[in-house]
Amino acid sequence: MKLEYKLDIDDHKYIQTIEDGKKYRIEIPTGVNIYGKKSRAVARVNGTFDVALAKRNEMLKNIANGSYQADKSMTFGELCNFFLEDNQPVYVWENGKNVKKSGLSYASLKTYKTYINNYLIPGIGHLKICNITKDTIDQLYKALELYYKTKNDTHLSPCTMGHIHSDLRAILNFAYKKGLIENNPIERLEEHPTVKCPERQCYNPEQLKVILNADITISKFVGNHEFYKKRFKAFTRVAIYGCLRRSEISGLNWDDIIENDYALKISRSASSVTGQGLTLLETKNESSEDIIVVGKDTIDALLKYKEEIELIFGDEMTGKGQAIFISQSGNRLAPQALNDMWNNYINTTDLPKYTLHVLRHSGATYLYNLTKDIKGTSKHLRHSNTSTTEDVYVHSDIDNQKQLISLMQQGLTDKLQSKLNINIPKEALDKFMEKFILEFSKEFVETS
């Protein structure tokens, strides 16, 4: 089916402004390609709107008479700029928070920029995208490995290489969908890096107890100021029992507390955006808005901290829409400020110097080890599926496994002499392991 285009259309049709009077993007649908995918004619213009308008009209004429050819001169560096510009987040203020309507999140965009600037642009940024082949990509990966081995006497981790590969694939897929390349060469690789991150760090239960009872240690860096002590006590309980991300902790308001249920409502997060300051955003995914039980101890700590705020600032600072975690000057603490508060504490202790996010991992791991309820743990973490919980947040406790297997072996060995009448201490075993041993011993008796 032949597409027909008219030039007597609105001047702004198919033209998107990137920087008024300086940069524009033209994007014209051209039907469906041989793979059944929607295709577009795309161009970027550096110049005035009139230059962009002339370019658009030229493209329309060429498309109509079948002579249009995609821009073959775009470099990979220019493509990366195009990709980042096209995926800028668009937020709309709804119900007291910014809701993302399109584009990537600020955090995702920042991650893409890091990998693009540190690894991709230095290697292939100068190449024209039409000249990038699977061999080019193979050589890039080998060059990165060799460079970092020579420079730092170490390899890039499998996790880093996996992220480099997935980001490059996303950028080239973007170019393919925009009609800038005929296919994605990365799909032809016979072998490629995969994201295989090492097991996450995790505090054990005894270390968590030290953190939760850290009043004495706190005095090392904040003196005896009740405001700081009570804020930190509430903060650690929210992080550990609630398993919240730092951005979600920063986004909490006093009206999010549900006292009767010992719970918190999680519906927003805070993010520091360049040029905009601290911005309240929707939670990470659609399933994230939820009621999370954090327990009486957490709510009590929050209410004591609230009393201290009201003594200093007055009750107007604890009303609806007011931030829970604030600075001494009364401003909402940004995620980075929460990081700083945690680092100030952990650096005064003998505990492992893990990041604040490890409290989320640790809380999730301990919760799962206590219950062996993967669905319940996943719901508490507000994951959309349990596989994320299993792969990322559930850590194996090797000491606990050794203890359980030792008890299992001891129990089976001792009880064989008394027809396996197992009587292992119940407090040492979770329900799952206890049931497993009983069933195993029963089967052993029947078959021996």
For 73-107, how does the pLDDT look when each residue is reduced to its tens digit (9 = 90+)?
789 998 998 899 888 887 777 766 666 677 887 77
- How far from 1 is each of 4, 30, 38, CA to CA, in Å? 10, 11, 14
CATH, domain range 205-393: 1.10.443.10
Which comes out higher in pLDDT, residue 59 or 170? 170
Average pLDDT, the chain: 78
Choice among 106-110, 131-135, 151-155, 218-222 with the minimum mean pLDDT: 218-222
Q: What integer pLDDT is reported at residue 323 of this predicted model?
A: 94
pLDDT digits (tens, 9 = 90+) for 339-389: 999 998 999 899 999 999 999 988 888 888 887 788 888 888 887 777 777
Task: Check residue 444 and give its pLDDT.
Answer: 36
Window from 10-14, 305-309, 406-410 with minimum mean pLDDT? 406-410
The first and second tokens of residue 11, run together, are: 């001047």
* Predicted local distance difference test score (pLDDT) of residue 19: 83
Q: Rounded to an integer, what distance in angstroms lies between the CA atom of residue 215 and that of residue 408?
A: 39
d(CA 44, CA 158): 35
| Signed CA dihedral, 298, 374, 368, 244: sign only | negative
Please answer whether residues 273 and 106 qualify as being in contact, where contact means their C-beta atoms are separated by less than 8 angstroms.
yes
- Longest CA span, the chain: 96
Q: What pLDDT does 61 receive?
A: 82
- 307-322 pLDDT tens trace: 999 998 888 899 888 9
Burial of 323 (C-beta count, 10 Å sphere; 0-12/13-18/19+): buried
Cβ–Cβ < 8 Å for 111, 119 = no
Q: Are 27 and 16 in contact (CB under 8 A)?
A: yes
Give me the helix-helix angle, 226-241 and 215-222, nearest 10°. 130
- Secondary structure letter of residue 118 according to DSSP: I
Q: Where in the chain are the domains?
A: 1-69, 90-188, 205-393, 398-447
**Residue type, position 175, single letter:** A
Neighbours of 131 (CB within 10 A): 12
> What pLDDT shows up at residue 121?
92
Type of residue found at 375: K
Provide Rg for the chain, Cα atoms: 28
Q: What is the pLDDT of residue 37?
A: 57
Nearest to 411 by CA among 422, 400, 402, 403: 422
Of residues 64 and 307, more confidently modeled = 307
Q: Which two tokens stand for residue 295?
A: 């327990």
Q: Which residues contact 424 (CB under 8 A, 6 or more apart)?
A: 407, 408, 410, 411, 434, 437
Could you tell me the sign of the dihedral formed by the alpha carbons of 313, 317, 318, 322, in that order?
negative
Cβ neighbours for 344, distance < 8 A, ≥ 6 positions apart: 221, 222
- Element at 401 (helix H, strand E): helix 398-416
Residue 140's CB is within 10 A of a number of other CB atoms, namely 20
Quick: pLDDT tens for 208-250. Answer: 989 998 875 555 555 557 888 899 999 999 999 999 999 999 9
Q: Model confidence at 199, in pLDDT bands (50, 70, 90)?
A: low
| pLDDT score of 116 | 94
In the predicted structure, residue 265 carries a pLDDT above the cut 60: yes
Q: Is residue 431 very low, low, confident or very high in pLDDT (cuts 50, 70, 90)?
A: very low
The predicted pLDDT at position 343 comes to 92
The confidence score (pLDDT) of residue 375 equals 83
Q: Which residue has the higher pLDDT, 62 or 212?
A: 212
| The CATH number of domain 90-188, selected from 1.10.287.3510, 3.30.1360.40, 2.60.40.2470, 1.10.150.130 | 1.10.150.130
Q: What per-residue confidence (pLDDT) applies to 274?
A: 65
Question: Does position 426 have pLDDT exceeding 50, yes or no?
Answer: no
